[in-house]
Amino acid sequence: MADSLNNRRLKILHAADLHLGAPVAVPDCTLSPQAGQARGEALSRLVKTAIREKADLVFLGGDVFDSPNPAPGARLTLLRALTELVSQKIRVFIAPGNHDPRTPLSVWESLPPVEGVHVFATQAEGVALEDLGVWVAGCAHNSRHVTEDLAQTLPPPPSGLTGLALLHCDPTGDIENQAHKPYAPAELSRLRRGDFAFWGLGHWHRPQILNRSPLVLMPGAVQGAHKNETGPHGAWLVKLSGQACEADFAPLSLINHHRLDLNLEPGIKDLTDLAWLISQKLPEKSSEETGIECLYLGLFGQSPLWRYFQGAEADYSAEELKKALDLAGLELKTDGLSPMADPAELEAGEDVLAGLLAMLKKIQADPEQAASLAKQIKKNLHPLACRQNSDDLAGYIGSLLPKVRDLALASLLPPEQEKE
C-alpha cells in the first residue's frame, strides 16, 4: 500500500448495478408498491450508510440506470441521492456501464451536473484528489457492447498518490464467470499486477471479493431483481490505510429473495415442523433496516404434509407458513409432494381409487392409449386444445395425467390409509 495516505484512513462506499428504473419481481401482486420503490430505497439506504460511516468517497461502478434513457423518476432518484451525498462533503465517482453507456444522447449528457460528482468520460481518465492523497481513475462504456479490455486503458497514478480504479467490466480469466457474456473483459491477473491499490468493479450481480491485495471488489446489484438474485445485496465499505485495506459488506436491499427446494423427510409432520425446518435454512436477518422477505419454496417427496397442500387447504397452509416465518411473499411449488402411501398397494386395491390409478398408469405407459383417449374426449375439450394436431393432443393429455392422479388421490384417498 502506498504511503501517500499518510496514516489517514480513507473510507469508500463502493456499489454498482443499481439498475434504477428496472422492475423488481415479487411473488405477490400486493407487494407491487414496495417492488416499485425497492431500487430507490436501496439507494437511499446507501446514502444513509455513507453519511453514517463518514465515507470520504462513494463509487458507483456502472449500470446505475437500467437504460441510457431512464424515466424522469429514476433520474430524480439519483439526483436527490447525489445532492445529499455532496451536501455532506462526500465526493462521488460514477463509471457508466453497458446498461447506461455514455452515448451522446444518454442521460449522462442531460443530467444536471452536481458539484462534487464526477462522471467518467468514455476516454479513460484519472482525477487527483490531493487532499486525500489519491488518484481515482476510470472510464465509461461508450456502447452496450464493449469488447475491449478497458482496465488496460486506465492511466496509472502519478507518484505520491494512491491509485483507485473504478470500472464496469467482466473480470474473466481464472475466476469463474457467472453466466454473463464477457462485456469489457478484464483479466484479473492483470488487475492484480497493476498500479492500483483498489479496484472497484461492477457488472456481476452477486457480491464477491476477487482479490485481497490489491483489493478487487465486485459489489453485486444493490437490490436483487428476482428469484434468481438471492443472497445479500448491498455495497462494500472499504477502509484503506497505509498498512492495510479491509472491506465490510453492508446489506442495503429492501426486498430479499430466498429460494429453497426441500425434500421432506417423513419426520416433518405438520406446518410447525416445516416452518421450523425453513427457519433453520433461511439466513438470519443481518440488516438493522427492515427487509421484505420473499421465499420461493419447492417441496418434494412422500410426506404427511402432502394433504396440507391439496385443494382449498393449500391457500390456508401457505398463509400460515407466511405468518409463521414473517414472510411478505411466498411462492410455493408443491406438485412434487405425494402422500405417504405405497403406490403399488393403492393400485392393487379394489375400490374406485385403485381402478382409476391403474387406468392412469396404463395410459401413461402406452402412447397409443393416450392417443385413443385424446380422440375420445376431443369434443369435450376447450376449442384451443382441439386445434392441436393429434400427436400434440396426445402429448397434452399425457401432461395432464399426473395432475389427474393428484386430484384422484386428494379426493379419494382416505386419510387413514396414509402411513405414518
Residue 138 interacts with Mn ion (CB under 5 A)? Answer: no
Contacts 24+ apart (CB under 8 A), 122-126: 124/150, 124/153, 124/154, 124/155, 125/155, 126/154, 126/155, 126/156, 126/157
- Looking at beta carbons only, is 97 or 234 nearer to Mn ion? 97
Shortest Å, Cβ 99 to Mn ion: 5
Q: What angle do CA 25, 30, 34 make, to 5 degrees?
A: 60
Kindly indicate which of the ranges 41-49, 97-105, 107-115, 351-359 contains the residues binding Mn ion, using the contact rule CB under 5 A.
Answer: 97-105
Contact positions with Mn ion (CB under 5 A) in 342-361: none
Kindly indicate which of the ranges 57-65, 135-143, 345-353, 390-398 contains the residues binding Mn ion, using the contact rule CB under 5 A.
Answer: 57-65
- Looking at beta carbons only, is 183 or 306 nearer to Mn ion? 183
Amino acid identity at 216:
V
Annotate each residue in 290-329 with x if it binds Mn ion (CB under 5 A) or - if it does not, as one string: ----------------------------------------
- Looking at beta carbons only, is 101 or 126 nearer to Mn ion? 101
Beta pairing partners, 10 = 240
Total number of residues binding Mn ion (CB under 5 A)?
4
Which candidate, 61, 64, 78, 57, places its Cα nearest to that of 13? 57
Q: Which three cell numbers stand for residue 160?
A: 505520491
Shortest Å, Cβ 289 to Mn ion: 25
- With residues binned 3-state (H G I as helix, E B as strand, rest as coil), the percentages for the chain, rounded to 5, are 35, 25, 40
Residue 63 interacts with Mn ion (CB under 5 A)? Answer: yes
Shortest Å, Cβ 205 to Mn ion: 8
- Looking at beta carbons only, is 203 or 322 nearer to Mn ion? 203
Q: What are the start-end ranges of the E strands in 233-274?
A: 234-240, 245-251, 255-263
Handedness of CA 164, 112, 37, 87 (dihedral sign): positive
- Looking at beta carbons only, is 204 or 309 nearer to Mn ion? 204
- Phi then psi for residue 372, to 5 deg, are -65, -40
Residue 203 interacts with Mn ion (CB under 5 A)? Answer: yes
> CA 73, CA 362: separation in Å to the nearest integer?
59
> CA 275, CA 260: separation in Å to the nearest integer?
12
Beta-carbon neighbour count of residue 76 at 10 Å? 13
Kindly indicate which of the ranges 55-63, 139-147, 274-282, 371-379 contains the residues binding Mn ion, using the contact rule CB under 5 A.
Answer: 55-63
Shortest Å, Cβ 168 to Mn ion: 6
Residue 170 interacts with Mn ion (CB under 5 A)? Answer: no
Q: Which three cell numbers stand for residue 94?
A: 460514477
Q: How many CA atoms lie within 13 A of 59 on its CB side?
A: 31
- Looking at beta carbons only, is 167 or 337 nearer to Mn ion? 167
- Looking at beta carbons only, is 139 or 357 nearer to Mn ion? 139
Residue 45 interacts with Mn ion (CB under 5 A)? Answer: no
Q: Which three cell numbers stand for residue 34?
A: 414496495
Which candidate, 98, 26, 10, 19, places its Cα nearest to that of 58? 10
Which of 21, 40, 61, 97 touches Mn ion by CB under 5 A? 97
- Looking at beta carbons only, is 203 or 233 nearer to Mn ion? 203
Shortest Å, Cβ 109 to Mn ion: 20
> CA 347, CA 31: separation in Å to the nearest integer?
44
Residues that bind Mn ion (CB under 5 A): 63, 97-98, 203
